[in-house]
Amino acid sequence: MHADARIDFALKLFGVPVRWRTRITEWEPGVRFVDEQEAGPYAFWRHVHEFEARGHSTMMRDTVDYAEPLGPLGRLGHALFVGRRLDRIFAFRRDTIRRLFECQATSPGRFAFESRAPSPEKA
């Protein structure tokens, strides 16, 4: 991974094939990196991954700013499906990371996820 790296995803959302491309816009090894959507299912997507040393463990923090496409219809879809789906995806990520590193940790790991709507000028 490096600044300007592009990552292409092929996934299915509710059975519908979706292509998604993100680009690493910021890269600070061991500290943080940011991926932003270039093409995909959201009107806007920016995902900040941060890592903070805490003694013998590391705090991982994900902050996602995003906006749904399709205006009011997209907001309805978010309220009915997308918000819960994102919560499940990040819960799975948290649990998987915890499980992978738990055997090596001397203290419980910490993981935080925050999502928020973008400021109006980004939407």
Count how many residues are written for the chain: 123
What is the rounded average pLDDT for all residues in the chain?
82
Q: What is the strand order of the sheet 16-28 is part of?
A: 6-13, 16-28, 32-39, 44-54, 57-67, 110-116
Give the Cα separation of 18 and 77 in Å (integer). 16
* Dihedral (Cα; 38, 39, 41, 44), 10-degree rounding: 30
Q: Determine which helix (DSSP H) or strand (DSSP E) holds 99, and give its type and residue range.
A: helix 83-102
Q: What's at 4, amino acid-wise?
A: D
Tokens of 105: 């940790």
pTM, rounded to two decimals: 0.76
Extents of the domains making up the chain: 6-116
- pLDDT digit string (tens) for 27-65? 999 999 999 999 998 999 999 999 988 887 788 888 999
